[in-house]
Structure 1
Amino acid sequence: MASSGAARPLEEQSLPFYHRKHYYPVRTGDVLKDRYRVIAKLGYGAYSTVWLGWDDRSKQYASLKICIRDDTKGSPVLNEVAMLQRLSRFAQEADHPGLEFTRLAQDIFHIDTPTGPHYCIVTKPQGASIRTLQEVFPDAVLPKLLVKSLIHRLFVSVNWLHATCGLIHTDISPQNVLMDLEDDSSLKDIEEQESQDPSTPIMSQGIPIYRSRATMLELSGIPILTDFGQMRPAQPENRDWWMSDLYRAPEVLLQLPWSFPVDIWSIGVMTLELLEGKNLFDPIDRTNDQYVLPLALAQYIGYLGPPPLEIIKQSPLFLTYFDEKGNWISDPPIPQASLEDFVTTISPGKEKDAFLRFIRKILTWDPEIRATSVEIIPDEWLMKPWDEKF
């Protein structure tokens, strides 16, 4: 029997902007579109809940991302649907190795309700996110060979998005990269668990809230780039404040035009995070949970050196934080920092030198000289074996 009462918030209920009327009241056993049978809940987020389903037509498991009802202008839900439809068209036109590492929609439909439609995005089920994977490794440090495998393939995915589709992901982070499942064994386990011990929802004002079942942690080394709610076309020009706080490219920070290179930057920052178990930049006021722009600028200067004068002169922030010669005049002070000191999981020597060359191609103030995916895919550090063990 479903429980009720004033229990602690469960899963999506705990989110800051949760509103029960925005979420579709999914129940295990529901059949959607006369085709997809809901087996168990896999996860949740601000814009959706995700469920393991069974496709009665293809006789395969499916991931069902059931989105909140949101028809507002600029809605991430509507944007993701539009971007996935666009990606599907490009995927049909020509083959590309990046397709293997990009999560495309197999079906998109909407569920009509009295309060409005809810989109459902059907995809191939995948494993846990890299963020979840980090949680099981000591100090959140992933094996170097695994990192190289993941990052190399992410650049291949991004190459397809950029070169073929003309699209910028803008939100690449460990949370938005899933591990590919090698087979269906973990999905069968979830279905068996649900059969033997059915999930009991908590009822909240008539809305069922289920607890998610964990997916298997995979070490396949095959990443699947997902979550396209923040994706943007490269044209018309983008210039607004965008991207996740810890992965924000400097051109966005300086309120300059931005395009494909912001994705390259994000992958570079993510590479360091996976190797070292911590973020390169942390410009957050933890007391007030606020992003601090001058703190971000100071940290970027600490690791990258001062920005080129010709770059910052174009920024509306120029004379707020710099003098006319490009010297930093704001608080906080520039931290004493270097990439050499930040990287500790690669021992000094030829490999570390190669890695620093690799990362410096990516972490540049000037997006025009930042390496493209085509230039970085064959990089020596990514491709050369360095007597590694995994």
Structure 2
Amino acid sequence: MLKLGYGAFATVWLARDLVEKRYVAVKVGLGSDKPLPDREAEILSQIRKTGPGKLGYERVIELLDVFVVEGPNGFHQCLVTEVVSPLSDEDTNEYCSYDVVRQIVEGFAFLHGEGIVHGDPHIGNFGIALPQLEQFEEDDIIDFFASEEVVAVVPRDPKFPMNSIPPYIIPSVIMTDFLESRKAFTAGSLNVKILDFGRACRKSQAVADLLGAPPRIIQPPEFLLHELRHGEISSTWSEAADIWAVGFLHNRVKVLKVSGSERRSRFLNFIQRMIITNPDERTTMKALLTDPFMVASATIE
């Protein structure tokens, strides 16, 4: 139906599940010569089996299905999930509160408890669930974004195989724009979701060939020291690195209702427990669940 977003290794589309009669997001990966095992699908499938009923499970994006399609560029792994709006979208970010931070920590405490390291917890990999979409017809959504421009794809090399590229590309849409126009997206209770497990791995299995590298802004000191010592960017990650990166999210998430010196002090102390230079001294996500800030946020929000 519409393009929701894209990254270095995949594009995400809004689609309609005609069997279950619901909106879904389909994440289409890059093409490969043959079907390959997908780490993200494996991790999310594990979470779906072992996570229900545990605190923080609802903070992880729900995997609904996995399939492979073959096209001009090879085989594409496709992940079907619930629809979310990234926190990196300005409109979504405006609705954030302390409760968003609390939910993120709950989610990471759950992941680490399941033996999973996320590997790339930057602001673009967090979102808000959009169950409000279900009250609208497909035509309503498509008509709202009907004026979006398309850009023709013209290769510089006239001999380039045209069957391997689309005739045109379209911009990504922001679903909260539509919901706000229908007064269906308000600053009520937001359900935070952790997205994009393409760099995720199990703590018990050190993986040295993770895809890409996380943004500089969330890289912990030990990550940068590796580059200085060895002259190369490390692709390894750890639970402690997750903690550091989450600690820096407060720089990107607009926290509303910042009132009272006592509450602000609790929040700063909470953040400082995560951004400690020595990775062995960073407070675990499980321990942070009982931090005074977390306890107060759970009762106030």
Q: TM-score scaled to structure 1, two decimals?
A: 0.60
Distance between the aligned counterparts of 1:213 and 1:266, measured in 2? 27
SS at match of 1:69: coil
- Cα gap change, 1:46 to 1:150, in 2 (>3 Å): same
Against the structure 1 CA distance between its residues 258 and 227, is the aligned structure 2 distance closer, same or farther, given a 3 Å change threshold?
closer
Report if aligned partners of 1:251, 1:258 keep a CA contact under 8 Å in 2.
no
Q: Quick one: which of 62, 77, 95 aligns to 2:24?
A: 62
Equivalents in 1 of 2:174, 2:50: separation in Å?
Answer: 36
Instruction: Name the counterpart of 1:168.
Output: 117
Task: Give the residue type in structure 2 aligned to 1:227.
Answer: D
Q: Report the RMSD for the aligned CA atoms in angstroms.
A: 3.4
Find out whether 1:158 has 2:118 as its counterpart.
no
Stretch moving more, 167-176 or 188-197: 188-197
Shift of residue 224, structure 1, vs aligned partner: 0.7
Query: What does 1:191-270 correspond to in 2, within 5 Å?
Result: 191-194=139-142, 197=146, 201-205=150-154, 207=166, 208-216=168-176, 218=185, 219=187, 220-237=189-206, 242-255=213-226, 259-270=238-249
Cα offset for 1:114? 4.2
CA deviations on 1:216-241 (whole Å, 9 max, x unpaired) are 16544321110111223323446799
| Aligned with residue 63 of structure 2, among 105, 113, 121 | 105
Contact 2:48-2:63 within 8 A present in 1 as well: no
CA contact (8 A) 1:149 1:222 kept: no
Q: Any idea what the Cα deviations from partners look like across 1:121-145, whole Å, max 9, x if unmatched?
A: 111112x2111136874xxxx7xxx
Unaligned runs of 5+ residues in structure 1 are: 1-38, 278-344
**Partner Cα distance (2:297, 2:125) in 1:** 27
**How far off is 1:105 after superposition?**
2.0
SS at match of 1:162: helix
Summarize deviations over 1:299-329 as a string: whole Å, max 9, x none.
Answer: xxxxxxxxxxxxxxxxxxxxxxxxxxxxxxx
Residue aligned with 2:25, SS = strand
1:177 to 2:126 alignment: yes
Kept in 2, the 8 Å contact 1:264–1:373? The answer is yes
| C-alpha distance 178-251 of structure 1, shift in aligned 2 (>3 A) | same
Q: 1:370 aligns with which of 259, 282, 294?
A: 282
Amino acid at match of 2:107: S
Contact 1:242/1:248, CA 8 A, preserved across alignment:
no
Deviations 1:170-204 (A, max 9, x none): 21121111111142258x36642425848774442
Contact 2:102 2:297 in 1 (8 A): no
Distance 1:378 1:258, change over 3 A: same
Match of 1:160, SS state, is: helix
1:3 corresponding residue in structure 2: none
Q: 1:274 aligns with which of 234, 253, 266?
A: 253
Task: Give 1:387 shift.
Answer: 11
Q: How does 1:1-390 map to 2 (within 5 A)?
A: 39-70=1-32, 81-95=38-52, 96-126=54-84, 128-133=85-90, 137=94, 146-164=96-114, 166-184=115-133, 188=136, 191-194=139-142, 197=146, 201-205=150-154, 207=166, 208-216=168-176, 218=185, 219=187, 220-237=189-206, 242-255=213-226, 259-275=238-254, 349-384=261-296
In structure 2, give the amino acid aligned to 1:161.
Answer: L
In terms of Rg, which structure is larger?
A: 1
Of 39-48 and 358-367, more deviation after overlay is shown by: 39-48
Q: Which has the higher contact order (CA 8 A, sep 6+)?
A: 2
Give the paired residue count: 268
Per-residue CA shift, 1:88-109, capped at 9, x if unaligned?
1342134223221111321111
Cα shift at 1:258: 5.2
Task: Name the aligned partner's letter for residue 112 of structure 1.
Answer: E
Structure 1 86/175 Cα, relative in aligned 2: closer, same or farther at 3 Å?
Answer: closer
Q: Please list every run of 5 or more consecutive structure 2 residues that lacks an aligned counterpart in the other structure.
A: 155-161, 178-184, 230-235
- In the superposition, the TM-score normalised over structure 2's length comes to 0.75
**d(CA) in 2 for partners of 1:385, 1:178:** 19
Give distance in 2, aligned partners of 1:86 and 1:387.
32
